[in-house]
Amino acid sequence: MAKRLPILVYPHPNLRKTAMPVDHVTPDISDLVDDMVFTMYEANGIGLAAVQVDRPLQIVVVDTSESKDSPQVYINPLIEESSGLQTTEEGCLSIPGFFEEVERAEVIQVTALDRNGESFTRELGGLDSVCVQHEIDHLNGKVFVDYLSRVKRSRIRKKLLKAKAA
Ligand code: NI
């Protein structure tokens, strides 16, 4: 049975960790993937990186479908090519309640392993592209507020620290 994992909230220092590649997609890794997908759905998110559940491994799950029944799994994801630009209002399960516009590539080509350890390459556009880029940032210790001005970021940081203390 998949379980809901606690999600780290910004500015938790572990969100700054760099994720390690997954050597082998063992049953433990598959279980973690299942727990991440479950956690993403429970939290009403469209993407989640393992770093956010305090497991600094290169694992990302995404589901941008309306029906929430099409989970995409990216293990050791690598963006091979990117083109164009798009600006989207982004949010993050680790930065609850804040939404800001971020500019990213429009189309990306990403290579990764799936839940069974099989390699695949996929071209992504629109929200899938934004989401995968956002999640890959997490694997590099980066969050979307890093793209904002220092003033905006500091305001969000203070509000979340205050909410935590309350
Ligand atoms: Ni996020």
- Concatenating the DSSP letter of every residue in 108-121 gives EEEEEE-TTS-EEE
Ligand 1 centroid from CA 130, angstroms = 11
Ligand 1 centroid from CA 138, angstroms = 7
Using DSSP, state whether 21 is helix, strand or coil: coil
pLDDT of 166 over the 90 cut: no
Question: The whole model's pTM is what?
Answer: 0.97
Which tens digit of pLDDT belongs to each residue from 107-129? 999 999 999 999 999 999 999 99
Ligand 1 centroid from CA 83, angstroms = 22
Ligand 1 centroid from CA 62, angstroms = 11
| CA angle, 156 then 12 then 9, to 5° | 65
* Region 97-107 average pLDDT: 98
Ligand 1 centroid from CA 100, angstroms = 12
Active site residues: 135
Q: How confident is the model at residue 1 (pLDDT cuts 50, 70, 90)?
A: confident
Amino acid at 99: F
Contact 56, 14 (CB under 8 A): yes
* Region 138-145 average pLDDT: 98
Contact 135, 62 (CB under 8 A): yes
- Give me the chain's average pLDDT, please: 97
Which tens digit of pLDDT belongs to each residue from 71-100? 999 999 999 999 999 999 999 999 999 999
| Residue 63: per-residue pLDDT | 98
Q: How confident is the model at residue 11 (pLDDT cuts 50, 70, 90)?
A: very high
Ligand 1 centroid from CA 91, angstroms = 7
